[in-house]
Amino acid sequence: VKEMKIVLSLLICGIGLTSKYLSEDFHANTPVFQSFLNYILLFLVYTTTLAVRQGEENLLAILKRRWWKYMILGIIDIEANYLVVKAYQYTTLTSVQLLDCFVIPVVILLSWFFLLVRYKAVHFIGIVVCILGMGCMAGADVLVGRQQGAGENKLIGDLLVLGGATLYGISNVCEEYIVRNLSRVEFLGMIGLFGSFFSGIQLAIMEHKELLKVPWDWQIGLLYVGFSACMFGLYSFMPVVIKKTSATAVNLSLLTADLYSLFCGLFLFHYKFSGLYLLSFFTILVGLVLYSSTSTYVAQDPRVYKQFRNPSGPVVDLPATGQLEPSVTYTSLGQETEEEPHVRVA
């Protein structure tokens, strides 16, 4: 799992680098087209896999039961990618990577209400510290931008990243639920199907003129191939790591991608760095260490769910009438263990 998290961080850094080169050096501002290429790859690999399956896991059977849910999830994922990739046109690589960690409090909030994950005081302290680090970074970015005469554009870029991070958080929590309760191939196949369809429509409406302006040569083609490969790898490996850990743990671990981006921005793009950048990054790391110092647990309450699956026993159905006894199941979410003991408190 640790090795896969490092791979994910490197893939995210690769996505950032290729996007920045395309937008800055070659003026190829095509965020929808870049995402469209990834969705086509997902469609060719995972949607076709679902199409040849038999029984209840077949593509048509899944569409009959849950098509509208995956349609909404696909649109959310498309716009998350669009906002973040679009932000590279306005702000710095480092700002995108650091502000993108806003996905962490979003995932935590959604996990609390929808996945019933429960956190301890130290987790919330870590979250607050991370948010403080993000605020410090945003201030430094605006200050440096004003010194360079581009403060307003950088602020727009920062806001785009925050919007994309919020949508990413929704997508990640849905992804965690699907890969734990259904399957990784179903999630990726449905994302590939609806993602390619709706991003193709968005591409035709919003970016057909920009795509014609791209000065095509082998370098631009190589950057598009590199971006697509990194995105496809990220989408393929992310569900595996989320299933073994959690969406929150994965997003916290991916903050290491910001370290790679700091060095890339310094040496490749010759950014003018403020000392506040480093201060904000180390503040975020402190928040990460605090959060990781203890494990979370899951509370499954029959007052919330009409039916739930006890990991150590059969499915339990609620009685139609009578007094309802509160019951909570606590499950440790250790990152490296496959099976954790469950303690039932009645």
Q: What is the pLDDT of residue 342?
A: 45
Q: What is the pLDDT of residue 290?
A: 86
Structure tokens at 98: 């650091």
Report the amino acid identity of residue 34.
Answer: Q
Asked whether 191 and 45 are in contact (CB, 8 A), the reply is: no
The pTM of the full predicted model, rounded to 2 decimals, is: 0.76
**H or E segment at 90?**
none
Whether the CA torsion 274, 277, 282, 283 is positive or negative: it is positive
DSSP reduced 3-state for 302: coil
| CA 322, chain centre distance (Å) | 43
Query: How would you class 71 by CB atoms within 10 Å of its CB: exposed for 0-12, middle for 13-18, buried for 19 or more?
Result: middle
Query: How would you class 24 by CB atoms within 10 Å of its CB: exposed for 0-12, middle for 13-18, buried for 19 or more?
Result: middle
DSSP reduced 3-state for 338: coil
Q: What is the pLDDT of residue 57?
A: 84
Q: What is the pLDDT of residue 269?
A: 67
Question: Which residue, 236, 162, 233, 175, is CA-closest to 15?
Answer: 233
pLDDT averages per 10-residue partition of the chain, 346 residues: 78 85 83 92 95 88 92 93 83 72 85 87 85 76 57 78 92 92 93 95 90 89 94 93 83 70 70 74 82 76 42 43 40 40 42
State the SS3 of the chain.
Answer: CHHHHHHHHHHHHHHHHHHHHHHHCCCCCCHHHHHHHHHHHHHHHHHHHHHHCCHHHCHHHHHHHHHHHHHHHHHHHHHHHHHHHHHCCCCCHHHHHHHHHHHHHHHHHHHHHHCCEECCHHHHHHHHHHHHHHHHHHHHHHHHHHHCCCHHHHHHHHHHHHHHHHHHHHHHHHHHHHHHHCCHHHHHHHHHHHHHHHHHHHHHHHCHHHHHHCCCCHHHHHHHHHHHHHHHHHHHHHHHHHHHCCHHHHHHHCCHHHHHHHHHHHHCCCCCCCHHHHHHHHHHHHHHHHHHCCCCEECCCCCCCCEEECCCCCEEECCCCCCCCCCEEEEECCCCCCCCCEEEEC
Q: What is the pLDDT of residue 282?
A: 85
| CA 240, chain centre distance (Å) | 13
Structure tokens at 304: 């919330």
In degrees rounded to 5, what are phi and psi of residue 29? Answer: -95, 80
